[in-house]
């Protein structure tokens, strides 16, 4: 778990694969990795998601870590872990799912928005709290959350792009997670791996620049 968390924090970018098709997911993951992303999340709303987690895990060779997103309950969390997921990302705070992730030594990032929700998720055992949807308040809102909660690791999700990723890092985010701005069904169907790689590389560069 320590190595997974360290990778998430050092890289600072989680790429979310959310698509309407079950094909091309591994190829998209490869393109993200070529762009410098070292944490790839496959959402459970994507057809064939568990197989994609398994295939990407086998593909990674230690070059990147694979996680599962849109995890709503402990049953789904366990299935993801069995498929090889090293970290779990949730849109809400499900205590049973958090407990299961910690039982098996996996990094867990439950979702929250308000200060009360954020501290509840943190106290329940979150390694990182996913601020979702971050677009409601933007970087200014995340900065406001960090004021009274400096000890909580916050990762904005929803509305994050290569253009504003650095703003969130400067506002206090420990990492950013973004999906459609990197990977979407259109790019997968068009097999536009170059566009995915380019967007990934730009995001990683923006995060690094914001931290320096």
What amino acid positions are annotated as catalytic residues?
41, 130
> Rounded CA gap, 141 and 71, in Å?
25
179 vs 98: CA distance, rounded Å = 23
DSSP-assigned states of every residue in 50-105: HHHHHHHHHHHTTSSEEEEES--SHHHHHHHHHHT-SEEE-SS--HHHHHHHHHTT
In whole angstroms, what separates CA 194 from the centre of its chain? Answer: 21
Residue among 3, 56, 68, 63 nearest 27 (CA) = 56
41 contacts 11 by C-beta, under 8 angstroms: no
Cα–Cα distance measured from residue 108 to residue 133, given in angstroms and rounded to the nearest whole number? 17
The H or E element containing residue 82 is: helix 74-83
């Amino acid at each position: 778990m320590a190595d997974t968390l360290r990778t998430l924090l050092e890289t600072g970018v989680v790429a979310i694969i959310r698509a309407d098709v079950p094909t091309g997911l591994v190829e998209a993951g490869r393109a993200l990795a070529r762009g410098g992303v070292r944490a790839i999340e496959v959402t459970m709303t994507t057809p064939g998601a568990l197989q994609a987690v398994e295939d990407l895990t086998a593909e990674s060779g230690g070059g990147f870590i694979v996680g599962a997103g849109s995890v709503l309950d402990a049953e789904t969390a366990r299935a993801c872990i069995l498929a090889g997921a090293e970290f779990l990302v949730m849109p809400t705070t499900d205590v049973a799912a958090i407990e299961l992730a910690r039982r098996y030594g996996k990094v867990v990032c439950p979702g929250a928005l308000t200060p009360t929700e954020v501290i509840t998720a943190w106290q329940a055992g979150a390694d990182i709290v996913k601020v979702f949807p971050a677009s409601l308040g933007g970087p200014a809102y995340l900065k406001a959350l960090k004021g009274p909660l400096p000890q909580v690791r916050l990762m904005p999700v929803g509305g994050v792009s290569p253009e504003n990723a650095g703003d969130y890092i400067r506002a206090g985010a420990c990492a950013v997670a973004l999906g459609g701005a990197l990977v979407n069904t259109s790019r997968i169907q068009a097999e536009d791996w170059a566009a995915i790689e380019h967007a990934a590389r730009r995001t990683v560069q923006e995060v690094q620049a914001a931290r320096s």
